[in-house]
Amino acid sequence: MPFRAALELFPSQAALEAGEQRLRATPQDPQLQLFMAWALRQRDMPRALALAEALEAHAATLAEPERRGLRLRLQLLRAEAALLYAQLEQLEPLLAAIRAEALALGDLGAQADAAWLAQGLAALRGDFAGEQRELLAAAAAAEQAGDALRLLIFRAELGRSAAFQDNLKAEQDWGPLLPAELAGLPPAARAAVADFRGVLAALRADYEACIASFGAAFEAALESGQLRRAIALASNLGFNYGNMADYETALSWLQRGLELARAAGWPSLVGGCLMHVGEVLRHLGQLDAAREALQEAQQVLRPLPHGRNQAVRLNVLARIELESGRYAEALAAYEEMAALPSAAAADLRVIAGIGRARALLGLGRVAEAATGIQQTLSRARAQFNRNYEIEALWAQADIALALDPHGPAALGWYEQALAQAASLPAYRPQAALLEAASAAQAAQGRFERAYALAHEASANRQRHFSEEATRRMTGLRAQHQMERARVEHEHLRRNHELLLHLSSISQEITTELQAERIFEALERLVHTMLDAQSVAIYTLDEAGGQLVCSFGMESGQAFVDPPIALDSPNSYCARALRERREFVLGAGELADPHSEVPGTRAMLSMMFVPLRLSERMLGVMTVQSVRAAAYGEREQLILRMLCSYGAIALENARAYQRLGALQQQLMAQEKLAALGAMVAGVAHELNTPIGNSLLVASTVLAATHALAERVEQPQPMRRAELQAYLQQAGEGLAVIERSMQGAGALVSSFKQVAVDRSAEQRRRFRVAEVCEQCAQTLGVALRQAGVGLQLQLETAPQLDAYPGALGQVLVILMSNALTHAFAGRSGGTLTLELHALAGERISLSVADDGVGMSEAVRRRVFEPFFTTRFGQGGSGLGLSIAHNIVESLLGGHLSVSSAPGQGSRFTVELPLRAP
């Protein structure tokens, strides 16, 4: 059979596995070796190149036509390696030689593949016209050769490339040439078509459709061995999840792509992942970490100075400089970006235009910014990219505000931006945009709309705060550090280098607090280190009587195995759990035929390892391969360690679930108790003025009835009688008026506290008013406890923060003193002090002359669930909540000083403007 270049562009995983089996049977078959080298070129490039070297020796024994055909295909393989490793100096002359030879042989398949590689080279250089030219040449050669699969892939890639210039035209030109349905397509074609559709959706900010398409493309790319495309898709998924403000998922995808890219050693893909990591870290406000990621990306991308990744890297760097207030540096980065050939792409021109306008605005060059943003907004609308249009409208509004601070123009631009944001599914507008729009509405006297926008901004910030607090709960894994250290120490002596690697990835597993994500992380790590076509995890059910298949994946397809009884004689999973040992099959011991799961493929190598935490068994994990003798001592060590980390992580997840339920219950109880105390206090305070008003009203009513009766009598009324009634009525109504004014003021104060508490509204306010409201709220409780309250409130600047949150902190601190400081005492004094500090800060302190605290208690007082009165009315959450509010939401610091018998002082230091 002649060696021709027309091998399938990306053979499927099933074809590769079949080739592996045939190669074991006939390892010297050169045609089979060529197929395996070609199929492995992105899956395992070092092995593919080794097979190519072995085939070179065989080529000398072939006749000329076959020898030239074989060497042509090997040259194509080496050219792809040079492309992936960014060895561009070697790639260009290699491609020229390949094209000349393919033309001489009349090999259309090789001509198509050479053009395909040439477009990759053009893309790395930022040469859009060259990229399109080479893709058209590849498609023409494939069509002439009658290769429908290559033609479909190349057309999808043409559409994908063109979309960055004009996504509407790209869809019109190339969409009709591609299948409407992905089902039934070969994996390689499915990946290319879904990738094209994902890019179209991403450029229009349709993130749900984008993520669905990119997810399907990622799975198909892995199945067809397109590791280069899979890494790029993982990076793009991370970028688009970041646009949706789902930063946890974004970083997960980026980490997955970065691991694959680093393992492969491909600079352009490592750099692409790193720059998107920098963008997500920028969104999270971790600017120093973002800069570090971009610096590493710059080093990795040094051989590729003109590509699209460089332009995107400069954009992320410029945005970091904008957020740091370094407008001149941001403008310089955008100017450098604009000079790159790749920045001519339509989407990058829009991104650079928005950033440049903001940099100019920051530098006070408002007229230049206004001119630039109008052009940019037109380009964004022409691209039908609503995400970029929102950012351009936002920038236009800020510029309009700078041009005319009191005019209505800015208001219209803000409303357009918010209307576009509302039209995007799963899109959450940034709090800064909502706050800017709220300020513009308030400036025009539209206070109801301003309040609604401020409330939405506050809710978004609070949601982010809650997500951050949840992530910090991963500290639960600390209780298992000793167990993990014991496992690591046991195996360190056996394989030091491997153990260091496993320790470096252990955090990925043990920081997860959801069982599903733990299973996914274990499967992903298995595939990076072991040959495994099947991965399954079985966990003990609640009753402990059977194993349940919690996770199963074979060749990319999920499966669920029926429950397994622990006394099953044919199940290796049950045996592994019962006997508390590992089973490795395929080397000396063969699997029992009765143990195979119906409907799954026959596996030649298997490992079964218990999920064990100390002496407690949680379940079993099994990995299986179609290769014989695939698992030795090293593979056992890897799976054993992964199972150890997996067991720790699963126990953490269960503990976290239990703790979360308990925390929610206690939080609900505490909120109800606080509400009850507040309502009781207000009711008590209202009782006196309302009671006085009722008494006086009854008296005046009785006098009025008496006057009416006197008027009906035949004797004329004397002047003195009327004057006496009028005097009595006037005095009574004056008492009623004073009482109702007092009650009205109390209700108004209570209403303001309730609104601030429920909405977490951000506004400017006097701290002294909040202190007085809190004192009034707790007035009844203080009097009942016999505790006096002294207010020492200096005149201090107003705060721009969250009065409800600050009030909650003060109520918690004062209530804590009532509960703990005066236990066993008949009364005491509580002092609330307010002082202005230097550096635009204030200090609030709540001090008592109570029993004080020991040093051991003082050190732990802010820990969640720590209390000295557990079961006696103390949940241990109050001070922890106060500490989190002060440190996170208000941007301040909460500290305590105390000594036994000398009382306690809690001090809150706050900036005048909350973060």
Task: Indicate the pLDDT class of residue 188, thresholds 50, 70 and 90.
Answer: very high
Give all strands (DSSP E) within 751-853, no chain letters: 763-765, 787-793, 799-801, 828-837, 841-848
Q: Which helix (H) or strand (E) holds 607?
A: strand 605-613
Are the C-beta atoms of residues 257 and 225 closer than 8 Å to each other? Answer: no
Reference 484, options 619, 305, 624, 649; nearest CA is 649
Residue 484 has pLDDT above 50, yes or no: no
Local structure of 129: helix, strand or coil: helix
DSSP letters spanning 315-364? HHHHHHHHHTT-HHHHHHHHHHHHTSGGGGSHHHHHHHHHHHHHHHHHTT
- Give residue 757's pLDDT band: very low, low, confident or very high (50, 70, 90): very low
Report the distance separating Cα 284 and Cα 207, nearest Å.
19
Higher pLDDT, 310 or 846: 846
**148-167 mean pLDDT:** 92
Above pLDDT 90, what percent of the chain? 23
Q: Give the pLDDT of residue 876.
A: 61
Structure tokens at 588: 């000396």
What's the chain's average pLDDT? 82
Region 644-656: mean pLDDT is 84
Helical H segments across 164-266, by residue range? 167-174, 187-203, 207-223, 227-243, 247-264
Q: Give per-residue pLDDT as tens, 356-388.
A: 898 998 999 988 888 888 888 888 888 777 778
For residue range 853-882, what is the model confidence (pLDDT) as tens digits?
A: 888 888 888 876 667 765 454 556 678 788
pLDDT digits (tens, 9 = 90+) for 394-410: 888 888 888 888 878 88
Q: Is 544 helix (H, G, I), strand (E, B) or coil?
A: coil
- CA-wise closest residue to 301 among 270, 346, 263, 343: 270
User: Which of 3-17, 33-47, 196-210 is most confident?
Assistant: 33-47
Position 819 pLDDT exceeds 90? no
What pLDDT, on a 0 to 100 scale, did the predictor assign at position 177?
93
Mean of the pLDDT values across residues 515-522?
86
> What contacts 24+ positions apart, CB below 8 Å, involve 315-319?
315/348, 315/351, 315/352, 315/355, 316/275, 316/278, 316/279, 316/282, 316/290, 317/278, 317/291, 318/355, 318/359, 319/279, 319/282, 319/355
3-state per-residue secondary structure call for 496-533: HHHHHHHHHHHHHHHCCCCHHHHHHHHHHHHHHHCCCC
| Mean pLDDT along residues 723-743 | 79
Both tokens assigned to 150 = 């290559």
Give the pLDDT score at 471. 38
Structure confidence at residue 276 (pLDDT):
86
Query: Read out DSSP for 31-63?
Result: HHHHHHHHHTTTT-HHHHHHHHHHHHHHHTTS-
Least confident of 138-152, 463-477, 858-872: 463-477
Q: Is 124 left (phi over 0), alpha (psi -120 to 50) or beta?
A: alpha
pTM beyond 0.75: the answer is no
Q: Where are the alpha helices (DSSP H) in 532-571?
A: none
Closest alpha carbon to 354 in 323, 327, 377? 377
CA–CA separation, 829 vs 853, rounded Å? 17
Share of residues in the chain with pLDDT > 70 (%): 85
Kindly give the residue spans of alpha helices, DSSP state H, lying in 530-632: 572-579
Mean pLDDT over 31-51 rounds to 91
Neighbours of 688 (CB within 10 A): 12
Rounded CA separation 77/49 (Å): 8
Query: What is the rounded CA–CA span in Å between residue 592 and residue 668?
Result: 54
Q: How many CA atoms lie within 13 A of 403 on its CB side?
A: 16
Average pLDDT over residues 739-751: 65
Tell me what pLDDT residue 490 has: 42
> Does 902 have pLDDT greater than 80?
yes
User: pLDDT tens digits for 223-267?
Assistant: 999 999 999 999 999 988 887 777 888 888 998 999 999 998 898
